[in-house]
Amino acid sequence: MTVVSPPLEERPVRRRRRGFGGGSRDAWPLVLPALLPVMLFSVYPLVYGVLLGFTDARAGLNAETAFNGLDNYVELAGNELFWNSFKIGLIWAFSVTVLQFLASLGLALLLNLDLRLRWLARTLALVPWAMPPVIIAIMWQLMLNPGYGPVNQILPGNVNWLGEASIALPVVIVVGVWAGMPQTTITLLAGLQSVPAELNEAAAIDGASTWRRFWHVTLPALRPVAVAITTLDLIWNFNSFALVFVLTAGGPGGTTMLPSLFAYNEAFRYGNFGYAAAMGNVMVVVIGAFLYFYLRGQMRRRLQ
């Protein structure tokens, strides 16, 4: 996965004939209708967005925009609210990713066994995937509703789960794990099913315990899939928006203000487009740097 180094530079397109296929000259007319809109409405805005982070752009229709170099970043460096939100974003992304991985691995291992009702569990595990984040948020609001929700009927005490500053973030993290389990579970299950059964049987005949077999046979074979899905989960979670936006809108008292929500408010409530884009740039750099080290570490481990 070359997530970090952008493979976007123009490469000379060589004409190669192979089998039935023609050269790239025949491909262009077919590919162009897909390529043009993507260039115009996603590559161009993205480049523009990165550049906006170095300007003082504001929302007004006739607002003048000028490059202001690193001014935005100097201002950001002193913006405690932003860094606080950044910290919340990291806590959220890492907790959700790790918990999601552990919970999904457990479920995938169970689904890989020959248990009854496996089909039901598998269907249930898929359902959150089919639900829009907005609806997942609405559903959990009902669940956690202090007056009506069943969570308060089952657990002792009368807690306002989403309204209490000290517990809102952990509660939101649990909802995030629920919402993201399907992808991770299904991917890990697919990975488990590609682990050759002979390996496990051979280890069992050699007298390895279930735990040792899991640790020394299954887990190493699962590593590539696990690395891929945790990487994607981390990116998705760090950039996620809709779920928390509807659940808490960043409250109470900013304790669940993910950086994406913070930047959204900055841009579309206060109209500071340039400043908000600068926040986006900082987020890309941090997540990019993290991915670089994580994936490089995993690559090295694999080569050894």
Partner 1 sequence: MTTPATTSAVGRNPFSRPLQYLALLVYMCFLAFPLLFLLSTAFKTPRELRSPDAGILPQSLTWENFTSAIEKADLYTAAGNSLLVAVTTTLIVTLVSLPAAYALVRFRTRLRAVATGWILLSQVFPFILIIIPLFLLMRNIGLVDTLLGLVIVYAVWALPFSLWMLQGYVAAIPVELEEAGAVDGAGRLRTLAKIVLPLLAPGIVATSLFTFINSWNEFFFALVLIQDPDMQTLPLALARFVGAEGQVQLGQLAAAALLACIPSLVFFLLIQKRLTAGLLSGAVKG
Q: Which is nearer to partner 1, 29 or 304 (CB)?
A: 29
Judged by CB under 8 A, does residue 66 bind partner 1?
Answer: no
Q: Is the Cβ of residue 154 or residue 303 nearer to partner 1 in the bound state?
A: 154
DSSP alpha helices (H): ranges in the chain? 24-38, 44-52, 71-77, 80-111, 118-130, 133-144, 150-154, 168-193, 197-205, 210-213, 219-239, 242-247, 259-268, 273-303
Q: Which of residues 108-127 bind partner 1 (CB under 8 A)?
A: 110, 112-117, 120-127
Smallest separation, CB 25 to partner 1 (Å): 9
Q: Does 27 bind partner 1 (CB under 8 A)?
A: yes
Task: Tell me which of 78, 147, 156, 157 binds partner 1, using CB under 8 A.
Answer: 147
Give the number of residues in contact with partner 1, rule: CB under 8 A: 123
Residue 215 contacts residue 108 (beta carbons within 8 Å): no
What values do phi and psi take at 231, rounded to 5? Answer: -60, -50
Q: Which of 7, 60, 69, 156 binds partner 1 (CB under 8 A)?
A: 7
Per CB under 8 A, does 38 bind partner 1?
yes
Q: Is 98 one of the binding residues for partner 1 (CB under 8 A)?
A: no
Smallest distance from partner 1 to CB 282, Å: 10
- Contact between 64 and partner 1 per CB under 8 A: no
Answer whether the bond into residue 132 is a cis peptide, omega within 30°: no
Residue 285 engages partner 1 in binding (rule: CB under 8 A) = no
| Closest to partner 1 by CB, 261 or 304 | 261
Neighbours of 204 (CB within 10 A): 14
Contact 177, 99 (CB under 8 A): yes
Scan residues 187-226 and list those touching partner 1 (CB under 8 A): 187, 189-190, 192-193, 195, 197, 200-201, 204-205, 207, 209-210, 218
Please tell me the distance from the alpha carbon of residue 54 to that of residue 50, in angstroms, as a whole number. 8
> How many CB atoms are located within 10 Å of the residue 154 CB?
7
